[in-house]
Amino acid sequence: MAIMAQAINIRGKVISAADGNPLAGASVTAYTASGREVGASTNSNGDYSLQITTDVTYLIFAYVGMQPVRESINNRNVINATLTADESDLDEVVV
């Protein structure tokens, strides 16, 4: 008899560190020890919701032009993320 991992709901908000505004369309990806499990995008308010298994150990938050953030689950159901600008992308600006 196989034991199935329990499903849990995780939710939260993704914002910009520069101005505190929500980041619509940011990606939120859940990972287990063996790799990617599931992903979602934030809505226009920067909110997301994922149904994951208890095998998931961390989330990666990413947005174009921002540095990705890794957050461990640690038995939390609400995980918010604040993303900062990726300064390396600014070196490529053409005027």
Tell me what pLDDT residue 33 has.
85
Q: Is the pLDDT of residue 22 over 60?
A: yes
Q: Which pLDDT tens digit goes with each residue over 30-47?
A: 999 888 889 999 999 999
**CA separation for the pair 41, 43 (Å, rounded):** 7
Amino acid code (one letter) for 68: P
Q: What is the mean pLDDT of residues 15-25?
A: 97
**CA separation for the pair 90, 40 (Å, rounded):** 27
CB atoms within 10 A of CB 26: 25
Q: Is the pLDDT of residue 95 over 80?
A: no
Tell me what pLDDT residue 36 has.
84
Cα(first)–Cα(last) distance of the chain, in Å? 64
Which residue is associated with the tokens 């520069």?
18
* Choice among 5-9, 44-48, 59-63, 90-94 with the minimum mean pLDDT: 90-94
Provide the CA 37 distance to its chain's centre, in angstroms.
13
